[in-house]
C-alpha cells in the first residue's frame, strides 16, 4: 500500500512508536520492500529508525528514475549506488540527461551485481561508461544505450571483454558502430537473445554475417533503416538463428522475396515481422512465409506496394494467431482480401488491430466483413476515399468499443484560373 508522509504523524513522537515495538525490524523491512521510490523517501523522513530501514540497500534492488529524469544529476546516482551496493540488480536512468561517465564509473564500482541497466537517451554517455561496466559489472545481462550517439566500436569491444553474460543490447541510433564492433561483441557474448540496431546506418551485410555465425540464441533483431543491408546478409541471419521470433527490417529497401523464403525455410517460430517500405516484396514471398510460419502474430506491411489480396488469402488460411496487421499504402488490396481475412481463423478471437490507411479500393463492404472480429480493438482508415460515416456507424453496432481512426477530407476546391499553379495535396491545404 502507498504510504504518504501526512498519514504517519502518529509515529513521529519517538523512535519507540507502537508500530516499531509490535513489529520486528525484519517484517518492517519486508513491508518496505514493496514500496516505490517516492514512498520509501517519505518513510525515511518519519523517524530515525524508519530512515535506517527505508534506506536499507535491500529495498533498492530495482530502481526506475524515469519519472524524475529532469532532476537526476550524477551525484544522485553516485549516492544511490553507495547506498544500494551489491543489492542493486535493475536500474533505469532512461532520459536522465544530467548523468555522465563520472557518475556511472562510481556506480559501476559500487553496484557490481547489476544485471539490467537502461541508459536510453543519456546523451552524455561515452565509451568511458562501457569501459567502467566492463571492468566492474560482469553479471550485466541487459544494457540499453539507445540514442547514446557518442558510443563507438570501442564500447562494444569493452563489453565483449568484461560482460560475457550479455543477453540483450540496444544500441539504436548509435550510428558510429560498424561491423568491427559487432564482430567483437558477438564472438564473446554467445548468449545474445536481443539485438536492437535501429538506425545504425553504417552496418552492412558483413556485420549480419557475424551475427548469423555467432548468435544461435537470437530471438529479437531490429535493423530498421539499416539501409545498406541486402538479402545476402539477412539470409545468413535466417540460416544461423533458427530461434528468431521478431525481425524488423522496415526501411531496408534492398531486400526481396528471397528473405521471406529464407524466413519460411529456417525460422518457424517467427511471431513478429516488420517490413514497412520494403517495396520489392510480393505475394510470392508472403505465400512461402505464411505456409511455413504459422505463429505469426504481428505484421507491418506498410508500403509493400506490390502485394495484393493473394497475400491476405494466404495469411487468412495459414496464420491463425494474427493479431496486428498493417496494410497502409498497400493500394492493390480490395474488399475481397479483407473478406478472406474476416472469415479466417484469426478473425473471431485474435485480430485486434488492422491498419488500412491510403487503401483506395477499400469500401464499406470491408467493414461488413470485419464485423465478426470480436477482438478487433482498432481500425485505421485515413484517406480511404470510399469509406463512409454510415459504414463506420454500422460497424459500431457490432463492435461498440472499437476505435476507428478515419479522416473525411473536405471537397477539393476547383483549380485556380490559369491552371499553371502547383496542385497541393489535402494535407498542405489544411496546413
- Closest by CA to 250, choosing from 303, 205, 202, is 303
**What is the DSSP-derived secondary structure letter of residue 85?**
G
Q: What is the pLDDT of residue 412?
A: 62
Q: What is the pLDDT of residue 409?
A: 67
Q: How many helices (H) and strands (E) does the chain have?
A: 19, 14
Decide yes or no: CATH 1.20.1280 for domain 16-59: yes
Instruction: Give yes or no for a contact between 46 and 12, defined as CB atoms under 8 angstroms apart.
Output: yes
**CA separation for the pair 322, 352 (Å, rounded):** 8
What stretches in the chain show pLDDT beneath 70? 1-16, 409-431
**CA separation for the pair 372, 389 (Å, rounded):** 19
CATH among 3.40.30.10, 3.40.50.300, 3.20.20.60, 3.80.10.10 for 256-408: 3.80.10.10
Q: Where in the chain is the domain with CATH 1.20.1280?
A: 16-59
Q: What is the pLDDT of residue 29?
A: 86
Q: What is the pLDDT of residue 263?
A: 98
Relative to beta strand 403-407, strand 62-64 is: unpaired
Q: What is the pLDDT of residue 396?
A: 97
Relative to beta strand 272-274, strand 142-144 is: unpaired
- Helix, strand, coil share (%) of the chain residues, nearest 5: 40, 10, 45
Q: Where in the chain is the domain with CATH 3.80.10.10?
A: 256-408
Q: What is the pLDDT of residue 69?
A: 83
Q: What is the pLDDT of residue 5?
A: 34
Quick one: which H or E segment has residue 78? helix 74-84
Instruction: Cell numbers for 403, please give them.
Output: 476505435
Instruction: Give yes or no for a contact between 10 and 17, defined as CB atoms under 8 angstroms apart.
Output: yes
Q: Give the per-residue SS3 of 227-267.
A: CCCCHHHHHHHHHHCCCCCEEECCCCCCCCHHHHHHHHHHC
Cβ neighbours, 10 Å, residue 285: 26
**CA separation for the pair 141, 403 (Å, rounded):** 38
Bridge partner list, 116: 90, 142
Q: What is the pLDDT of residue 234?
A: 98
CA angle 138, 141, 147 (to 5 degrees): 110
Cβ neighbours, 10 Å, residue 247: 24
Q: What is the pLDDT of residue 70?
A: 81
**CA separation for the pair 131, 224 (Å, rounded):** 27
Q: Give the per-residue SS3 of 129-146.
A: HHHHHHHHCCCCCEEECC
Amino acid at each position: 500500500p502507498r504510504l504518504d508522509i501526512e498519514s504517519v504523524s502518529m509515529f513521529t513522537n519517538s523512535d519507540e512508536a507502537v508500530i516499531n515495538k509490535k513489529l520486528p525490524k525484519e517484517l518492517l523491512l519486508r513491508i518496505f520492500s514493496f514500496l516505490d521510490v517516492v514512498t520509501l523517501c517519505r518513510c525515511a523522513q518519519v523517524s530515525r529508525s524508519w530512515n535506517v530501514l527505508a534506506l536499507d540497500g535491500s529495498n533498492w534492488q530495482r530502481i526506475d528514475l524515469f519519472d524524475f529524469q529532469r532532476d537526476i544529476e550524477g551525484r544522485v546516482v553516485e549516492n544511490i549506488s553507495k547506498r544500494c551496493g551489491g543489492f542493486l540488480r535493475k536500474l533505469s536512468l532512461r532520459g536522465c540527461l544530467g548523468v555522465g561517465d563520472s557518475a556511472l564509473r562510481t556506480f559501476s564500482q559500487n553496484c557490481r551485481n547489476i544485471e539490467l541497466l537502461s541508459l536510453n537517451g543519456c546523451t552524455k554517455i561515452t565509451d568511458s561508461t562501457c569501459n567502467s561496466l566492463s571492468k566492474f559489472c560482469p553479471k550485466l545481462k541487459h544494457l540499453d544505450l539507445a540514442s547514446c550517439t557518442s558510443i563507438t566500436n570501442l564500447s562494444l569491444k569493452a563489453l565483449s571483454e568484461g560482460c560475457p553474460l550479455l543477453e540483450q543490447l540496444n544500441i539504436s541510433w548509435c550510428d558510429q558502430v560498424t561491423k568491427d564492433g559487432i564482430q567483437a561483441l558477438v564472438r564473446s557474448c554467445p548468449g545474445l537473445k536481443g539485438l536492437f540496431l535501429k538506425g545504425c546506418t553504417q552496418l552492412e551485410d558483413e556485420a549480419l554475417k557475424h551475427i548469423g555465425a555467432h548468435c544461435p540464441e537470437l530471438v529479437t533483431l531490429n535493423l530498421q533503416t539499416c539501409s545498406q543491408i541486402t538479402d545476402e546478409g539477412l539470409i545468413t541471419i535466417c540460416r544461423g538463428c533458427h530461434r528468431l521470433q521478431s525481425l524488423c527490417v522496415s526501411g531496408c529497401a534492398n531486400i526481396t522475396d528471397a528473405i521471406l523464403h529464407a524466413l519460411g525455410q529456417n525460422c518457424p517460430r517467427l511471431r513478429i515481422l516488420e517490413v514497412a517500405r520494403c517495396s520489392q516484396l510480393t505475394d510470392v514471398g508472403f505465400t512461402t512465409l505464411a505456409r511455413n510460419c504459422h505463429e505469426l502474430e504481428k505484421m507491418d506491411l506498410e508500403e509493400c506496394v506490390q502485394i495484393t489480396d493473394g497475400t491476405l488469402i494466404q495469411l487468412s488460411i495459414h496464420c491463425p494467431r494474427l493479431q496486428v496487421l498493417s496494410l497502409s499504402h498497400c493500394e492493390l488490396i480490395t474488399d475481397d482480401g479483407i473478406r478472406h481475412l474476416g472469415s479466417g481463423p484469426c478473425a473471431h478471437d485474435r485480430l485486434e488491430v488492422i491498419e488500412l490507411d491510403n487503401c483506395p479500393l477499400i469500401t464499406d463492404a470491408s467493414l461488413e466483413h470485419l464485423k465478426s472480429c470480436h477482438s478487433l480493438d482498432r481500425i485505421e482508415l485515413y484517406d480511404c476515399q470510399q469509406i463512409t460515416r454510415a459504414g463506420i456507424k454500422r460497424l459500431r453496432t457490432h463492435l461498440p468499443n472499437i476505435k476507428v481512426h478515419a479522416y473525411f477530407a473536405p471537397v477539393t476546391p476547383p483549380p485556380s484560373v490559369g491552371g499553371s499553379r502547383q496542385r497541393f495535396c489535402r494535407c498542405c491545404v489544411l496546413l
